[in-house]
Chain A
Amino acid sequence: MRVLLIDDEKELVSTLSERLDLRGIANDWATSGEQGLELIAAKNFDWVVVDLKMPGLGGVETIRAIKQRQPQARVILLTGHSAAEDLKQALEMGADRYLVKPVDIDDLLALMQQGRD
């Protein structure tokens, strides 16, 4: 399983990446939607975790682009608050799951596991 983490908060995404490393989960991370799409162009991912609110290419636009380029990749939307409208839009745009920050890594792994079953 390979995971891509996209969040404009570098400290969050890099530390979450380290925690996935400790669990033996291959992953890459990016701090913008644009940077994430560059990685998508270079590698295949099973799961992409995307922050909703980012400067430049926002979460919803990033999800739309991911689904066009790697339709098989499943997407988990990461959000600070579970605003119903934002979540509805993101799920309509192709997000498969969502998680509210702060991330509970066990919840994240459980979501990925459910997606595999």
Chain B
Amino acid sequence: MSKPPERDQEGRALDFFGAVTASATHEIKNELAVINEHSHLMLEMLQMAAQGREPDPQRLQELTSRVIARVGQADQVVKRLNTFAHSAEKQRDRCQVGPALELMVRCYLRLAALRDVRLELEPLAGGEDLAIKAPPIQVEQALWAALQAAVGAAASGSLIRVSLSRAGEAVSLRLAGELSQPPAEPPAELLAPLEATARAEAGALVLDMPLNPPAAA
């Protein structure tokens, strides 16, 4: 069987968009499936009440509350997807790394959970407002690739702590946890435009990204 051809930069960007949107729509679909069950059960309970069977007000209240909660959760996913879609706008040339990382981690939680891996985002050290002079979509793609590499190497049932810190004129992303194998390095083509470098440390993958990559100057 022949090996599929290597994806070029545009192909990888499409893969990235596909992966994020497919996962988000799975999440939305899941929320809708739960809302569907709860609302149909409420309808069936009310139909039985109309036929003289005593409804359980506590159960009805519980189901209504859960519908409201699940609508809220679905709305969060839609907002996240919308934020992500706007990050591809061409005129944007600076990326706030903290919010971008938070967005990518939230988008990746479901995929990590499917591999029985949890992700925990630690607060940004010092609460600094770190911005990389590069299009947000490029930065997000590099962050996503780092998450993929770390989760792919993580032991089942483990936790990966995700942290961001400033290291001189660069920002350093650290994904640390119980890794069952060395993490694969994120593709060089994704790191090159950001002048970013990745390295494996004991139980961690570290991604260093200059705040002002020369390629973007």
In chain B, positions 1-46 with a C-beta closer than 8 Å to chain A are: 22, 25-26, 29-30, 32-38, 40-41, 44
Total B residues in contact with A, Cβ cutoff 8 Å:
24
In the complex, what distance in Å separates the CA atom of A22 from the CA atom of B37? Answer: 13
Q: Of all chain B residues, which has the CB nearest A55?
A: B116
A65 within 8 A of B: no
Interface size on A, residues (CB 8 A): 19
With A and B bound together, what is the CA distance between A102 and B10 in angstroms? 34
Max count, chain A CB within 10 A of own CB: residue among B25, B37, B48, B116: B37
A19 touches B66 (CB 8 A): no
- In the complex the two chains form, is B26's CB within 8 Å of A81's CB? yes
Please tell me if the beta carbons of A19 and B44 are within 8 angstroms of each other in the complex.
Answer: yes
Binds B, one of A9-17, A38-46, A87-95: A9-17
B-side contacts of A15, CB under 8 Å: 34, 37-38, 41, 63
Q: How far is the CB of B19 from chain A (nearest CB, A)?
A: 13
Q: Which residues of A contact B63 (CB under 8 A)?
A: 15
Tell whether B114 is near chain A: CB-to-CB under 8 Å.
yes
Main secondary structure, interface of A, reads: loop
Pair A105/B26 contact, Cβ less than 8 Å: no
Interface residues in A83-117 (C-beta closer than 8 Å to B): 101-103, 105
Closest Cβ of chain B to A78, distance in Å, is 9
Q: Does B86 make an interface contact (CB < 8 A)? A: no
Q: Could you give 14 example pairs across A and B, Cβ below 8 Å?
A: A9-B30, A11-B37, A11-B66, A12-B37, A18-B41, A19-B37, A56-B156, A58-B114, A80-B26, A80-B33, A81-B25, A81-B26, A101-B32, A103-B33
Residues of A bordering B, CB below 8 Å: 9, 11-12, 15-16, 18-19, 22, 53-56, 58, 80-81, 101-103, 105
Q: Given contacts A54-B114, A102-B33, could you give 14 more A-B pairs where the C-beta distance is less than 8 Å? A: A12-B33, A12-B34, A15-B34, A18-B41, A19-B41, A22-B41, A53-B26, A55-B113, A56-B116, A81-B22, A101-B29, A101-B32, A102-B29, A102-B35
